[in-house]
């Protein structure tokens, strides 16, 4: 069975394909073990720490991620992997465990940049006023 899921954080979008396999996790066709910086790699593999490493040995996960910086990408990949595992295994207990640990594992971050408005350089800041 093949499961397709996605995750978003800021402008980063990750699309994950989860299928039965022997534990390969690839991010943009690169093994997850080679992902730098290390904090991003640890964040991406967080769902396996909660679900258990034995689940990792049962599935192959291919993730395509684009947009955003390394922190946003890591969060998007993390969400896509967690959603994919839950959907692939169809396990309510696992879903509850993810939700209890961190809701962001299964729910996209909906915050976006506020649009710039007239009269200033940004969304809220205004141009300085000169009296002389």
Burial-class residue 30 by CB neighbours within 10 Å (0-12, 13-18, 19+): exposed
Q: What is the pLDDT of residue 69?
A: 92
pLDDT at 113: 85
Q: What's the predicted TM-score (pTM) here?
A: 0.85
- CA 120-126-129 angle, to 5 degrees, is 110
Token pair in block for residue 127: 């141009």
Dump pLDDT digits (tens) for 17-62.
999 988 899 999 999 889 888 999 999 989 989 888 888 888 999 9
The tokens for 37 are 């910086």
CB of 82 closer than 8 Å to CB of 106:
yes
Per-residue pLDDT of 78-131, as tens digits, reads 999 999 999 998 888 889 998 888 888 898 888 888 999 999 999 999 999 999
Q: How confident is the model at residue 5 (pLDDT cuts 50, 70, 90)?
A: very high
Measure the CA–CA gap between 129 and 116, rounded to whole angstroms.
19
pLDDT of residue 53: 81
């Amino acid at each position: 069975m093949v499961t397709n899921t996605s995750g978003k954080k800021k402008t980063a979008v990750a699309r994950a394909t989860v299928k039965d396999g022997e534990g390969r996790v690839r991010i943009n066709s690169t093994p997850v073990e080679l992902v730098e910086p290390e904090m991003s790699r640890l964040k991406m593999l967080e769902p396996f720490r909660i679900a258990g490493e034995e689940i990792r040995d049962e599935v192959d996960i291919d993730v395509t991620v684009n947009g955003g910086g390394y922190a946003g990408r890591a969060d998007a990949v993390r969400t896509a992997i967690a959603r994919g595992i839950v959907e692939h295994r169809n396990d309510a207990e696992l879903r509850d465990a993810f939700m209890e640990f961190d809701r962001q594992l299964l729910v996209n971050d909906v915050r976006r940049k506020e649009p710039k408005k007239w009269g200033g350089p940004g969304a809220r800041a205004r141009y300085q006023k000169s009296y002389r």
